[in-house]
Chains A and B, each alone.
Chain A
Amino acid sequence: MEPQLGLIEQSFHVRYSDGVREALDELGDSFLITDPSISGHPIVFASSAFLKIFGYSKDQVIGKNGRMFQGPKTNRRSVLEIREAIRQEKAIQISLLNYRKDGTPFWMLFHMCPVFAKEDGRVVHFLGVQVPILRKSGVVRNPSKLCEDGTGFLGCCRREVTSDSVMEVGRGLALDYLLNSDDRELEIDQPCEASELEKRKAATAISNILSVLAHYSASEVTGRLVCGKACCLSGMGLGASINISFGRIKQSFVLTDPHLHDMPIVYASDAFLKLTGYARHEVLGRNCRFLSGLDTVSATQFQIAECIRNERPCTVHILNYRKDKTSFWNFLHISPVRNATGKVAYFVGVQISSSCNSQGKQGLSPAMEHLSVVGAVKVAVRSLSIGASTS
């Protein structure tokens, strides 16, 4: 499953004006930017410092999911905590064991933060900064022994650098350490706490990156502002977590919101865009009737409207039209979908084009394919508005 590189290019290009990549690289920090609205939640930008520390080339990283830098000894709970932060659209700072391209593991402080669009409060990207955690050079090899200064095992991880002025030197040393040190193997089993300095470094990097992003998005070209805080929420945007859940569904489907005027599309899968030939921004916000055309039987459209009014599922064969005006028979299924309040929050529409194989590669009949999408959407939407996020 390779997310289209075109979408990835778009992710950055649509939001930020030219020069943003250079400006980001000038910061010198190691970080990644990911887009949760693209299927697979892929990386859309990797700083050159990141590529250097991890030993990858740009092409090996763009389009992939951040999981690729984890390995067998990466603490699973930490991974789950990060996933939970994504779900709740919150920032997180956590020590994590990552792996370089050559397979060598190392500890780093991972600081992730959501990037919100000012216009509708949606999360448009996640920003992840990596600060390598340094250990005292003479760290003991036998894990059952205390460090000689008696500060306990946590003390063994901390560098004795407290002054800000050493930050520059520290960064250079960090890189050198990672690229040259031989005795890392024995240390990786022990969980590692970052120093205050390293934490400050991560926070500063985040703040600098967000400034650059805000600066380059405030131009006339894109007209869309990004910021580090959720400014407002609108009915249109769906959260990062549900975007990721929807991204796992490979079939063509849309989600429409019956509570908004004219019941617009609020989500469209990649497969839907591929089937109809439209770009995402051309369909979001519009009612599905644009897919119908001259020869579409109006009785069918009426049948659909009736079912929606009665909050009942329905299945129809309807003649639809692509962007290029060619027509196709759409085996369409529509179903109401409820959220945590128990009330109908959306309708899902699943499209199967008759020109595709009637028996999907998966071995489910078309009718079953409809239902599997409905089920997956129901599970995802069920936790919408479920309420309080935890501390």
Chain B
Amino acid sequence: MLTIKKVPTVVSNYQEDGDDNNNAAGIRTEDATQSQARGCARNCLGKCCLPVSKLPLYAFKKNDYPSKNNAVFPSDDGVSPISFLNNLLLAQWEDRMRRGLFRYDVTSCETKVIPGRYGFIAQLNEGRHLKKRPTEFRIDQVLQPFDENKFNFTKVGQEEVLFRFESNDDDKSRFFSSYAVDICSISPSVVAINVSPIEYGHVLLIPRVLDCLPQRIDHESFLLALYFAKEAADPFLRVGYNSLGAFATINHLHFQAYYLSVTFPIEKAPTRRIMTRKGLQGADLVVSELLDYPVRGLVFEGGCVLRDLSDAVASSCIYLQQNNIPFNVLIADCGRKIFLLPQCYAEKQALGEVSLEVLETQVNPAVWEISGHMVLKRRKDYDDASEDYAWKLLSEVSLSGVRFESVKACVSKATGLQVEVDTYNIDQKECIYDSEAPQVASHMQRDCPAIH
């Protein structure tokens, strides 16, 4: 069993009670279970309180059929008026700021784009991480069963919940400012604040909160996350996911999202198409691999309906989970582009293979860090932050070329797509040849320079 020690990020104001109770070996466990049975006066998200609660509800319209011009996404987000969901999210988040629910004001933290090719983003945040003793996290098991004695989102106070986010069967999306929660007919999915935000608007999307799902991807939940990105229709609101072993904080299924109105480094990286499923009217489902980026990863785009894209990614994630490969997922560009990033940093850390210099900055490379957004705790690290440092850190995160090939094979099996190397569809001017790639088709390859 491999473990690492780290200070867990506090995402809810109710989190510390639970964890404290269970870290002291066995002594206070009874207290913990008792407080649950009491049916708390806390107005939480448990079965005790939800049935008598009312929450705002945003019910989005599901789009299972290809539209006339085959456009899954509108062409003008970025200039079109802010969507209702986006306004709702911003208003509710700002409201919680006014109520003092966050541990600090993230907009008071200095942030900068580091000069360089990719423009990594660094933030100086001395208050994010607690000065508490670190906890042990098991990092060699991507699938772990839900433990109700540990902190989970049913224990969150309702004031930390902004609204419910679920699908409807109607012809359009609807909003109800106050809707009774009928837990018999539906398991509510909620959007809650992260009280230690990385940036403005940092929220947690918790699918089917009462079902107490452990942190693992399933098709329905991933589709929910993708619809969230799409309905918000803001290219600067990205949605992220960390598996266990890839720096997920809590073993209760959740996605994260926040706003940052700059382009992330990972969004600038060139890509090379490696798998295609042809679709009607050019709506091909395309899987590409990242080029010239310190972390090896795959990019999923396209499909006739959102579900196609969602299922391809979800199936791939499930395959990785079953093969015990930790990974992170970034949903960008309003849901058009999904990055799947397998990683091995935690494993390296547990085996003592990470350089001391990198370890001392205490950056845990989860999805945001891998995408190029790093929160630094020490002024010195922030002032010295360079593209070199970011590259060095992220290189430790990446799987090796050989291991990545087996991930590609996983994805190929999971999605049913063949890995091809279509030399006429590279975004770069150079021709790249990976000597370990299977099923290399074109005879042109031999003359091209090899890469690492």
Contact = CB atoms under 8 A, between A and B. Distances in A.
B81 A143 contact: no
B429 A193 contact: yes
Which secondary structure dominates chain A's binding surface?
Answer: loop
Contacts of A340: 110-112
Nearest to B262: A383
Interface in B69-108: 69-71, 75-76, 78-82, 84, 86-95, 98, 107-108
A256 to B, nearest CB: 18
A374 B107 CA distance: 13
Nearest to B88: A364
B126 to A, nearest CB: 11
Contacts of A75: 427
Contacts, number: 169
A139 to B, nearest CB: 12
Given A41-B79, A378-B94, A379-B261, A72 B425 contact: no
Interface in A347-391: 362-365, 368-372, 374-376, 378-380, 382-383, 386-391
Contact of B117 (A67, A371, A378, A391): A391
A235 interface: no
Contacts of B94: 371-372, 374-375, 378
Contacts of B76: 65, 67
A382 B81 contact: no
B164 interface: no
Nearest to B336: A76
Interface residues of B, number: 69
Given A371-B90, A375-B90, A378-B94, A72 B261 contact: no
B109 interface: yes
Given A80-B263, A375-B90, A342 B108 contact: yes
Contacts of B70: 72
A372 B90 contact: yes
Interface stretch (A5-13, A17-25, A208-216, A246-254): A246-254
A388 B112 contact: yes
Nearest to B93: A375
B259 A379 contact: yes
Contact of A77 (B109, B423, B427): B427
Contact of A72 (B110, B116, B267, B282): B282
Interface in B49-81: 69-71, 75-76, 78-81
A313 B54 CA distance: 29
B111 A77 contact: no
Interface string A40-54: 110000000000000
Contacts of A67: 75-76, 79
The list of the 9 closest CB pairs from A to B, nearest first, reads A375-B90, A372-B91, A390-B119, A388-B115, A372-B87, A371-B94, A371-B91, A368-B91, A387-B112
5 contacts: A80-B263, A87-B262, A342-B111, A362-B84, A386-B112
Interface of B: 69-71, 75-76, 78-82, 84, 86-95, 98, 107-119, 121, 175, 177, 199-201, 235-236, 259-263, 267-268, 270-271, 281-283, 301, 333, 336-337, 423-427, 429, 431, 441-442, 444
